Amino acid sequence: MKKNLNIFRQLILAFGVLLLVISCTKYENPEAVYEEYEQASKDGMVRKVLFISIDGVVGEEMRKVMPTNVAEMLKNSKYSFRTLSDAQTTDASTWMSMMSGVKYAMHQVGDESYIPKPNPNHPHENTAGYSSILYRISTLAPTLKSYVVARDESITNKLLVSADESFVSKTDEEVKNTTVDFLDKKNPAVTVVQFKDVLLAGQLEGFSAGKTAYADAIKKVDGYVGEIMTAVKNRKNYENEDWLVILTSNHGGLGKSYGGDSFNERNVFAVYYNQNFKSLELNADLMNSLRYKGWFSNKNLTQGKVTINTGEEGTRAVSPDGDVSKMLDIGNNPDGFTIEFKAKFQKTTSHPGADYFDTFSLWYHSILGKKQENDDVSAGWMLRTQGDSQIGVRLSDGTTNGQVLVGNRRNDEWFHFAATVKKIDSKTVRVEGYVNGVLATSENISVNYEKVISNSPFFVGYITPFRYGLLDFQLSDLRLWNKTLSAAEVSKVSCLMDFETSDPLKAHVVGYYRSMESNKEMKNSLGLGPVLMVSGAKPETDLVQNFSPCTVGDDSIVQIQSDDIYTQIFYWLELRTQKEWNLQGQLFLNKYEVEFLKP
């Protein structure tokens, strides 16, 4: 069924969508920045994009089947069979993530209405909307033509309504035939294609290469992909065109279903093909992260004449009180103490309208520690922020206190942090701070080492009573040690993905916290440290690329995710993204420019 969207029809559709969402959704309306398209790029070629989603393909199952045409494409591709789709794996949410460049946690689209879900705690507030990539392209480059061929009508009529022409097809074969015809007769800059038979086969028999219907469906669609690739190469002006072909899936599946956040449901494949690319499989180890959202206990915060709602309860993790947590007291570890973890600090999201909203510059806000209060009196230890570039390592023996400031803190990117504590004499402690395995600070402070003890629980996130607890950050691989690690040992552990069985350092780990269980427990995966209980309205966990300062610069270590698609397409078309779009996807194709940019 052809849907030729002329100007009149686009106006009618746009007006209808506006009426539907205006009561609950506020979309950006940035000033248009027009760019010319269909002019040759720097290397004299006209850039074009073909995006194909084979819905419902589990990445590792595609590897097992390895159909003919996909295998041929890999010879000129950057690819991965361990790509991650969004954690919300419904059809609409994953397509929205691919086409908007942001994850479900931001776009909040969960069904085929493609309308963001309102915040249940604030149902009358406007919900941010995120425009599709085709809308952005049509705004920035109106002469660029886009075409969509899909099985789901909601994709053509709602999500990608900005396409110049679109078709809804009843079968995958019809999708293929229509796409081949488009490529022969039209001059698209961007073509979006959706196949769905693999998804239907997975629901019928199971999302496994061991299931005949599923494997056969993959092979059949692979044949359609081969015909489409032939159509691209048979275009009259192919010699003057430079095509980026993206072949992927919206989500995987587990058993006969999908919609959850298991690895099988999130595991898809991604092939980024260009005739000049050298073959390279992109892989990265994964780590679990938990987002600690800051919070202030007062229901409303008054700042000047403005009263600001504090929103939903933030996220923190806490150990039990008493003896079960005493091994996390610095003073109870005579051979010293070390704290190290991987973190990513984000701009504050609590209390919109406050003077510290949307900033990295927070003073004295808690990160983690074992102390009754964020003050100068109570005994114990804690780490806290010091402006936008430092972390303060604060120790108190109940009478005196001291703090060592560690600089070179990273913001909006993952980094490794370590602090070591060593007793020098009865009144002196040496603290050293490391960033990405490199010594940043080494100072002595005057406190009694043995008295840096607190009956309060160990905590991560905001501290109670609520003073300076608004930091918003992700944390992973938190380890606490019953010894002062040397500089060489800190450098070593900053690069560790995991411990070898024979590693002697393992014996000195008293707490190793990697992931939150379904019951909101963070179990100690190594050592005798206590279980941490996570609290908060919406604890957010995610699988992300495991950070190691020792692998920075290795071009094969890339964790591709579905929200990366948007960024690669804009890059390939030489269009500029804008900061206010808040795109989450990374750009990685630029690492390989030497392969496809002609001098």
Q: For residue 22, what pLDDT is reported?
A: 36
On the question of pLDDT at 441 being above 70, the answer is: yes
Q: For residue 461, what pLDDT is reported?
A: 92
One domain for residues 385 and 498: yes
CA atoms of 284 and 551, how far apart (whole Å):
10
Q: For residue 553, what pLDDT is reported?
A: 76
Q: For residue 15, what pLDDT is reported?
A: 41
Q: Is residue 119 part of a domain?
A: no
At 518, the pLDDT band (50, 70, 90 cuts) reads confident
Q: Is residue 172 part of a domain?
A: yes
Provide the number of structural domains found in the chain.
Answer: 2
On the question of pLDDT at 264 being above 90, the answer is: yes
Q: For residue 550, what pLDDT is reported?
A: 87
Arithmetic mean of pLDDT, 15-29: 39
Judge residue 358's burial from the number of C-beta atoms within 10 Å of its C-beta, 0-12 exposed, 13-18 middle, 19 or more buried. Answer: exposed
Residues 6+ apart with CB under 8 A from 486: none
One domain for residues 236 and 253: yes
Q: Is residue 257 part of a domain?
A: yes
At 16, the pLDDT band (50, 70, 90 cuts) reads very low
Query: Of 366 and 5, which is predicted with more confidence?
Result: 366
Lowest mean pLDDT among 227-241, 382-396, 533-547, 576-590: 533-547
**Cα 282 off chain centre by:** 17
One domain for residues 524 and 563: no
Q: Quick one: which H or E segment has residue 489? A: helix 487-494
Judge residue 259's burial from the number of C-beta atoms within 10 Å of its C-beta, 0-12 exposed, 13-18 middle, 19 or more buried. Answer: middle
At 73, the pLDDT band (50, 70, 90 cuts) reads very high
Query: Of 526 and 491, which is predicted with more confidence?
Result: 491
One domain for residues 329 and 211: no
CA atoms of 430 and 444, how far apart (whole Å):
4
- Residues paired with residue 445 on neighbouring β-strands, in sequence order: 429
CA atoms of 354 and 367, how far apart (whole Å):
20
Q: What is the mean pLDDT of the chain?
A: 88
CA atoms of 301 and 308, how far apart (whole Å):
5
Share of the chain above pLDDT 90, in %: 69
Q: Quick one: which H or E segment has residue 94? A: helix 91-100
CA atoms of 358 and 411, how far apart (whole Å):
13
On the question of pLDDT at 24 being above 50, the answer is: no
One domain for residues 303 and 280: no
Q: For residue 352, what pLDDT is reported?
A: 58
Share of the chain above pLDDT 70, in %: 86
For 400-437, write each residue's pLDDT tens digit: 999 999 998 888 899 999 999 999 999 999 999 999 99
Q: Look up the CATH number of the domain holding residue 354.
A: 2.60.120.200
Q: Look up the CATH number of the domain holding residue 583.
A: 3.40.720.10
Report pTM.
Answer: 0.82
One domain for residues 347 and 203: no
One domain for residues 269 and 294: no
Q: Is residue 467 part of a domain?
A: yes
One domain for residues 324 and 470: yes
Q: Is residue 102 part of a domain?
A: no
One domain for residues 268 and 355: no
One domain for residues 152 and 265: yes
Q: Is residue 6 part of a domain?
A: no
Contact 427, 452 (CB under 8 A): no
One domain for residues 380 and 492: yes
CA atoms of 208 and 205, how far apart (whole Å):
8
At 14, the pLDDT band (50, 70, 90 cuts) reads very low
Q: Is residue 546 part of a domain?
A: no
Domain boundary among 540, 567, 587: 540
On the question of pLDDT at 489 being above 50, the answer is: yes
Q: For residue 376, what pLDDT is reported?
A: 86
The string of DSSP letters for 337-373 reads EEEEEEEEEE---SSTTSTTTT-S-EEEEEEEEEESS
Arithmetic mean of pLDDT, 93-115: 94
C-beta neighbour count of 72 within 10 angstroms: 15
Give the position of tokens 């190594």.
526
Domain boundary among 507, 540, 573: 540
Supply the range of the domain harboring residue 422. 288-540
For 177-211, write each residue's pLDDT tens digit: 999 999 999 999 999 999 999 999 999 999 999 99
Q: Is residue 198 part of a domain?
A: yes
One domain for residues 366 and 488: yes
CA angle in degrees (0–180, nearest 5) for 370-533-260 = 140
